[in-house]
Structure 1
Amino acid sequence: MDILINVVSFLVALGILVFVHEYGHYWVARKNGVEVLRFAIGFGKPIYSWIGKNGTEYVIGLIPLGGYVRMLDGRVDDVPEHKKSVSFDQKHVLRRISIVAAGPLANFIFAVVLIFVMLLIGVPALKPVIGDVQENSAAAEARLQTNDLIIKIDDNSVNDWSSVQYKLIDQIGNPTIPMSVMRNEKELAINVKTAQWKVEDGELFSSLGFTPFSPEATLSLNYIDENGPAKAAGFLVDDLLVAFDEIELESWSQAVEIITDSADKAIEAKVLRDGSIQTLTVRPANRPTQEGFSQGYLGVAPKFEEWPKDYVFTNQYAILPAISQSFVKTWDLIKLTFNMIGKFVTGAIGLENLSGPIAIAQGAGISAQSGFVYFISFMALISVNLGVVNLLPLPVLDGGHLMYFIIELIRGKPVSDRVQEMGFRFGAIALFMIMGIALFNDFGRL
């Protein structure tokens, strides 16, 4: 079911974003008097197509991993004399630049709209209060403490964990991270040294040595897996774990440790149910780890203590502030995405952090299951990424075409066909290499 949700959510998100991107090209091309021969969403064999009143063929392809706008172009078509005025290659270079740039620009505008809707609805958020601090970590050396409230990163105000995450990403590669925290109602300036900071699989917080605050898990059960050993042994929701094999339990972490160390071993468990002690015998299933070690699995999840007052809030804006903030946040995402690409190029971020379609599908599925507002937030992020990536100066992307047109604008004549062909080959190789690394990383994370 999770795989199905991931796939469907991914296809819906990608289909919408590709449509927005290609419609940007299409709309500006039409406004500039260019004849559009085909508007396609997806590649491969058409599963549905029709001819519009304007003569454009609209196509939905079998492979939903992209799209394109096919314009009349004398470089690839035999254009009769009476149609040269509506051919793409006959338009002034500034008009061609506007048509090519319209795709990424449409993605940015769409992100603004999505973020505006998200801010109007309101996004549940958590205050950036630090939980555990790992010994001998960068956070510990900077003297960060449990219950510190992060209020600034590099003089930029932050009010939830999402904004902290984005600001920390922006700091990757810097020798120190200037932070301000509130502790005992006093603002303290702290510098976190990043000499040993290595981000793996996007684990920003734990790689610095701290975790976000979360309520403690109790020994009371909140969930029983229908197919797990606990269900077969007779455990019920609301049971309070008291002891395992005569060992009195004091914390959930202690219970987890005993369970994971008891794969395929019988445990005599005592639980408090309806005011009386019940004794149950359970044999945790064996779920080997990726390293090949045995790990016991019981199939239960705990209840948690209540969140402290004011730790959970809703980021919500009125119409006018939401309009302003949607532009600000979109611009911040654009800058952050370019910054991340720069860090990949310089090696500040390892290529093992590059994600591909599988990771995106998983993100789409998780966000869709979390709720509509999280799904549109995810789409806004991917829309910005799609726009930025298409602006990269690789000849197979919009950015490569823009590069050639800008050179033509400066030189006063087009780049030669030979140079363009060599550039397209190089761009295709580079793009396939990047996609290959991303897919390799995706499979490695499964």
Structure 2
Amino acid sequence: MTEILGSIWWMIVALGVLVTFHEFGHFWVARRCGVKVLRFSVGFGKPLWSRRDRHGTEFAIAAIPLGGYVKMLDEAEGNVPAGQLDQAFNRKSVLQRIAIVAAGPIANLLLCVALLWAMFVIGRPDYSATLGQVSGLAAQAGFQTGDRIDRIDEREIRTWMEAIQMLTTAAMDGHDASVEVSTARGSHVSRTLPLSQLPAGFNQENVGGQAGLSWLHQMLPAKVGAVPAGSAADGQILPGDVITAIDGKPVAFFNEIGPEVQALGKRGGAAMVEVDRQGARLALEITPRLTRPPAGGAAYYALGVAPPTEISAAPYDALQRYGPVAAVPMALRETARMTADSLGMIRRMFTGHASVKNVSGPITIAQVANATAKRGVAWFLFFLALVSLSLAIINLLPIPVLDGGHLLYYLIELVKGSPLSERSMAAGQYVGLAMLAGLMGLAFYNDILRLVT
């Protein structure tokens, strides 16, 4: 319940901030163009709070916090007194109307830059792109545990999430990724990850895993949480012991224990299992025991040790922090990078290279809002910046009903020399509503599917 309430609350906060800035963009430019603004509302429905300024504009906070709007004086929406015709939106020049409509998305874009600047000044802690256990295509290409990815396809990589994003887009495009790494020994080498060899229909949400990559901060240490009574290790290995080697082979992570134990079992006989017990190094002679799953399935050899039920998150090993001046170009560069990545993803979805499962709806957004808020102010600022940029891009799509659709109408009017007919604009509105409904339906479907799976 706490998780649900937290998600709802932080989503309301996020939407409140982003919608207010978006609508303020329309409002501010409309005022500068001499348009009378009748209402500035954050939310829809019945106002919970409102007041009027000296210009007669009503500022309101409404009951349904899922958007907002700016209502302007417009002959298309009702009769306008003769003395106020010069303040009507529809009476303004095409360029002025274009400026007013474009101001909303531009406000979200500027907000994105400001939020990223604040994030860089505060400092966002994260994990470096250091590899954990390596297998499959990655192992064949020479990648090793402890490699830190520095660049992918000439782009600098600062965090593991950046690495995932670059590898995912490369896999979607069906080309191999050129990767520069710093090895655990300190040398710098270039390797090629053959993502073009991934099978058709690969899971685009886990490209790294399918290529055989895992991340060091996600690996479980080989620390024992429990030893069931009657198991092979019962009476020798204790909860809290850290397994360091099996039959002379070093062990660093818990998931390395299983394969070594299987090899021991097939060989037969006892082996030395080395553990660290509160700083003391012990060598224990243990014979793996053949175990059959209670639900059926293939038998396997086991020591009978389990990881801890509660596992602490690995400490952050990367920090993106800059001074107030240095953070300005970094925020601009990050905004440009995020814009290019977002537009690239939209293009890939239209061309079929990216799955439509990448479209997220309000449920996922609420969950991410809550998760980032828990991780700290810098992470929540990054989340707000990403959603603000997404709102700017989506609103500029040439879909009637959205700002981009209105801009398309005005551009046609600018070229044509006269407005589109009311019939054409009405038809466009119906098409836009249908497209928007389809997009929202897809987003909700993906959200529900994620919850179910």
TM-score of the superposed pair, with normalisation by structure 2: 0.79
Report 1:57-72 matches (<5 A): 57-72=58-73
Report 1:247-326 matches (<5 A): 247-248=232-233, 250=243, 252-253=254-255, 300-302=309-311, 312-326=317-331
Shift of 1:75: 1.8
Partner residue, 2:141: 142
Question: In 1, distance between residues paired with 2:344 and 2:116?
Answer: 21
Question: In 2, distance between residues paired with 1:254 and 1:181?
Answer: 23
Partner residue, 2:411: 406
Contact 1:219 1:303 in 2 (8 A): no
Question: In 2, distance between residues paired with 1:427 and 1:14?
Answer: 22
Question: In 1, distance between residues paired with 2:192 and 2:351?
Answer: 27
The residue type equivalent to 1:205 in the other structure is: G
Aligned CA distance change for structure 1 residues 401 and 149 (closer, same or farther; 3 Å): same
Partner residue, 1:211: 214
Partner residue, 1:267: none
Partner residue, 1:29: 30
Q: Cα deviation per residue 1:265-289 (whole Å; 9 max; x = unaligned)? A: xxxxxxx99x9xxxxxxxxxxxx9x
Partner residue of 1:431 out of 436, 439, 442: 436
Give the length in aligned residue pairs.
388
Shift of 1:39: 0.8
The structure whose Rg is larger is 2
Partner residue, 2:361: 356
Partner residue of 1:193 out of 192, 195, 200: 195
Q: Cα deviation per residue 1:26-60 (whole Å; 9 max; x = unaligned)? A: 11101111000111111122222222221011222
Contact 2:127 2:217 in 1 (8 A): no
Shift of 1:117: 0.6
Question: In 1, distance between residues paired with 2:203 and 2:57?
Answer: 47
Partner residue, 1:393: 398
Question: In 2, distance between residues paired with 1:331 and 1:253?
Answer: 39
Partner residue of 2:333 out of 287, 310, 328: 328
Which is further off, 346-355 or 114-123?
A: 346-355
The residue type equivalent to 2:330 in the other structure is: Q
Partner SS for 2:173: coil
Aligned CA distance change for structure 1 residues 244 and 321 (closer, same or farther; 3 Å): farther
Contact 2:180 2:188 in 1 (8 A): no
Shift of 1:370: 1.0
Residue 246 (structure 1) aligned with residue 231 (structure 2): yes
Shift of 1:163: 2.6
Q: Cα deviation per residue 1:401-444 (whole Å; 9 max; x = unaligned)? A: 01111111111111111111111111110111111111011111
Partner residue, 2:151: 152
Partner residue, 2:342: 337
The residue type equivalent to 2:217 in the other structure is: S
Question: In 2, distance between residues paired with 1:128 and 1:57?
Answer: 50
Question: In 2, distance between residues paired with 1:427 and 1:367?
Answer: 33
Shift of 1:301: 1.6
Shift of 1:299: 8.5
Question: In 1, distance between residues paired with 2:221 and 2:190?
Answer: 33
Aligned CA distance change for structure 1 residues 415 and 369 (closer, same or farther; 3 Å): same
Contact 2:129 2:149 in 1 (8 A): yes
Q: Cα deviation per residue 1:89-116 (whole Å; 9 max; x = unaligned)? A: 1111111111101001100101111110
Which is further off, 154-163 or 433-442?
A: 154-163
Partner residue, 1:266: none
Structure with the largest fraction of strand: 1
Partner residue, 1:180: 180
Q: CA RMSD in A?
A: 2.8
Contact 2:223 2:308 in 1 (8 A): no
Partner residue, 2:205: 202
Partner residue, 2:284: none
Partner residue, 1:228: none
Shift of 1:76: 1.9
Contact 1:18 1:66 in 2 (8 A): yes
Partner SS for 1:426: helix
Partner residue, 1:236: none
Structure 2 residue runs without a partner (length 5+): 238-242, 244-252, 260-276, 281-294, 296-305
